[in-house]
Structure 1
Amino acid sequence: MFETISSPAMSERVAQQLLAQIDAGSFNSTGKLPTEAVLAREFGVSRTVIREAVSRLKSEGVVEPRQGSGVYIARHAAIRPLRIDYAEAVESSGSLAHLLAVRRAIEAEVAAEAALHCTAAGMDEIDAALHRIEEAVAEGRDGVAEDMAFHRAIAVVTGNPYFLKTLSFLNQYLEAGMKVTRGNEATREDFSRQVREEHAAIVDAIRSRDPMAARNAARTHLYNAARRLAEAGIS
C-alpha cells in the first residue's frame, strides 16, 4: 500500500502518503489507521517517524487518537488547512515562479482593497515601511524583512485578516527567493531603481485611492519580480 520512505523529510513524506490513502478511502471500512508498529514496518521507518507523521495529521484535524483504541480518521477530516511541502516549494523547478503567480493574483487585489480602505494612519504606516526598505539598503542589508513588512503594511490597511494570513503563509516559501533577488538587485543599479519605482507606484496609487492603478502597479511589480528571479537563475 505504501512506498518505503528514505529521505531527510521522512515524517512529512509519511504524512503525505497517509493523507493520500485517507483521501482514497483506504481506511473507510473501520475509520481507523493501522497500528504504529504496522505503519513503521510498511514504510520502513522508525516508530518515532510514524508518531511525528500522525502528530502532523492530528494537528491539522485529519485524525484523532482515542485512548486505548487507536488513531481514527476525524469526522471533519475533509476540511483541511492549506499545506505545501517546503522542500518541494523551494527546490522543485518552477515552484517559486508558481508561488509568485499566486502571490501576484492575491497582492493585486490587496493593493486595490488598500486603495479603497486606507486611512491617513494606514498611509503613514505604509510610508514608514517603504522608508525602512531604503534605510536597510543604504546600510548594506538585503532588505528582505523590510520588503515583506512593506507588503504586510499594505495588507493590514485592507482590514481583511485573510489577506494577511494568506500572504504570511506564502511568504515563508518565498523568502529564500527574495533574498536572492534582493541580493541580485543590490548589484544591479537598474534593478534597484526598478524596485524603488515599482514600490513608489503602488504607494502613489493607494494614496490616490485609485484601486485600478494600485492593482496594476502591484501586478507589474510581481511580474517584474518573477523576471528578476529568472535572470538570477532562480525559478
Structure 2
Amino acid sequence: MDDESRQSSQSRLLSRRSVAAKIKSKPIVRPDRLSDLVIDALRNDMESGRIGPGSRLPSEKDLTESFNVSRTVIREAISRLQSDGLVVSRQGSGVYVTSPSEGTRAFRLGLNDPHEKTTARDIYELRICVESDAAGLAALRRGKTDLAMLEKALKTLSAAGGDLEKGVNADVQFHRLIARLTKNSAIIRFHEFLASMLTDTVRLARANSAMHEGLTEYVATEHVAIFEAIVAGDAEKARHAMRMHLNKAQERLGLL
C-alpha cells in the first residue's frame, strides 16, 4: 500500500471514530423515595375518605409491616404529613387525621417539590437561626439523663462511619435531641416540623463528605465540639459551635 492510500485509509478511520455511535435510549426516571411512596398511599386513603378526619393512623410498627419499609421511612413520612397539616400527633395517644378546622396547610417547605422555591441554602440559613440558639438553651437546661442520651447519640454517629443512611439517621437524631434538651415545647414542635427537611440537608451534606477522604471524620469533630459545649453548660460556646458546624456544612456544599 503506497503512502497516499495509507493516509486515505487512516483518514476514513479517524472520521468514523469522531462520529458518536447511535444508541437506542430512554430517559432514566429517578425512582421516588420510599417515604414519598408511603405519603402518596396515605394521602390517597385520606382523600378517598377511606381514612376520615379524626381517624387514628395505625401504629408505627403496623405501618412499617404494612408497607414493608423501615421505621425511619415511616417517621419521615409522618413528619412530612404533619408539616402539611394532614395529621396531628397527640402525645400518648397516636397520630390522627386532622379535620378541616385543625389543618393548617398554607406553610410548606420543600427541597424536592418543583412548585416550591425553597433551596438548600434557605434551609441551612433557617437551621442556623433555630439550631444555634437551641444549642445555647440546651447547654443551660440539660440534665444528667439528657447528657447521657446525647452522648449515646454522638457515639452512634461516630460508629456509623461511611454508612450513609446510618450516618444520616444518627446525625438527625443528634440534632433532634438538642432541640429536646431546650425544654421549650415550641422549639421542639418546630424542629419536628423541619424534620424531613433536616433529613434532606443532612443527607446532602454527608453524601458530599463521603466523596472526600477524611472529611467525614473532620465533620465528626464539629459534633464533638457542640456536645462538649453543652456538657460544659456554656451557652455561648454551644451557640458558636453549632453555628460554625452549619456554616462549614454550607461551605462544603458550595452554598456560601
TM-score (norm 1): 0.60
Which has more radius of gyration? Answer: 2
Match of 2:43 in 1: none
Give secondary structure in 2 for the equivalent of 1:128: helix
Taking structure 1 as reference, are residues 92 and 112 closer, same or farther at Cα in structure 2, changes over 3 Å only? same
Equivalent AA in structure 2 for residue 155 of structure 1: A
Q: 2:183 aligns with which of 159, 162, 166?
A: 159
Match of 1:32 in 2: none
Quote how far apart the aligned CAs of 1:83 are.
2.0
Quote how far apart the aligned CAs of 1:167 are.
1.5
The gaps in structure 1 that reach 5 residues or longer are 1-48, 61-73
Match of 1:105 in 2: 129
Match of 1:228 in 2: 252
Q: 1:114 aligns with which of 113, 124, 138?
A: 138
Match of 1:66 in 2: none
The gaps in structure 2 that reach 5 residues or longer are 1-46, 54-80, 88-99
Mapped to 1, the partners of 2:211 and 2:85 lie a distance apart of: 46
Equivalent AA in structure 1 for residue 160 of structure 2: A
Task: For 1:180-219, list aligned pairs within 5 A.
Answer: 180-219=204-243
Equivalent AA in structure 2 for residue 86 of structure 1: G
Taking structure 1 as reference, are residues 91 and 132 closer, same or farther at Cα in structure 2, changes over 3 Å only? farther
Quote how far apart the aligned CAs of 1:158 are.
1.4
Mapped to 2, the partners of 1:178 and 1:114 lie a distance apart of: 21
Query: Contact between 1:89 and 1:173, CA under 8 Å: does it hold in 2?
Result: no
2:229 pairs with 1:173: no
Taking structure 1 as reference, are residues 211 and 131 closer, same or farther at Cα in structure 2, changes over 3 Å only? same
Pairs aligned (count): 171
Mapped to 2, the partners of 1:102 and 1:213 lie a distance apart of: 20
**Amino-acid identity (%):** 26
Task: For 1:76-87, list aligned pairs within 5 A.
Answer: 80=104, 83-86=107-110
More helix by share: 1
Mapped to 2, the partners of 1:191 and 1:224 lie a distance apart of: 11
Mapped to 1, the partners of 2:116 and 2:86 lie a distance apart of: 26
Mapped to 2, the partners of 1:131 and 1:113 lie a distance apart of: 22
Quote how far apart the aligned CAs of 1:160 are.
1.2
Moved more, 128-137 or 208-217: 128-137
Q: Deviations over 1:27-51 (max 9, x none)?
A: xxxxxxxxxxxxxxxxxxxxxx9x9
RMSD: 3.7
Taking structure 1 as reference, are residues 211 and 89 closer, same or farther at Cα in structure 2, changes over 3 Å only? farther
Equivalent AA in structure 2 for residue 216 of structure 1: H
Quote how far apart the aligned CAs of 1:227 are.
1.8
Equivalent AA in structure 2 for residue 213 of structure 1: K
